[in-house]
Amino acid sequence: MFFDPLYFIIVGPAIVLSIVAQIWVKSAFNKYSKVGVATGLSGAQVAERIVSQAGLGVRVERVSGFLSDHYDPLHRVLRLSPDVYDGRSISAVGVAAHEAGHALQHAKNYVPLKWRSALVPITKVGSSLAWPLLMIGFLLGAVGLIKVGIIFFSAAVLFQIVTLPVEFDASRRAVGVIQQMGMVNAVELEGVKKVLGAAAMTYVAAAAASIAQLLYFLMRAGLLGGRRD
- Return the active site residues: 99
Residue 62 DSSP SS3 = strand
> In this structure, are residues 107 and 53 in contact, taking their beta carbons and an 8 Å threshold?
no
Residue 89 has φ and ψ, to the nearest 5°, of -115, 175
CA-to-CA distance for 60 and 37, rounded, in angstroms?
Answer: 20
How would you class 23 by CB atoms within 10 Å of its CB: exposed for 0-12, middle for 13-18, buried for 19 or more? exposed
Terminal-to-terminal C-alpha distance of the chain = 10
CA-to-CA distance for 92 and 83, rounded, in angstroms?
Answer: 7
> In this structure, are residues 94 and 196 in contact, taking their beta carbons and an 8 Å threshold?
yes
| Amino acid occupying residue 41 | L
Residue 61 has φ and ψ, to the nearest 5°, of -130, 160
Residue 98 has φ and ψ, to the nearest 5°, of -60, -45
Q: Which of 90, 99, 100 lies closest to 38, judged by CA?
A: 90
CA-to-CA distance for 189 and 176, rounded, in angstroms?
Answer: 10
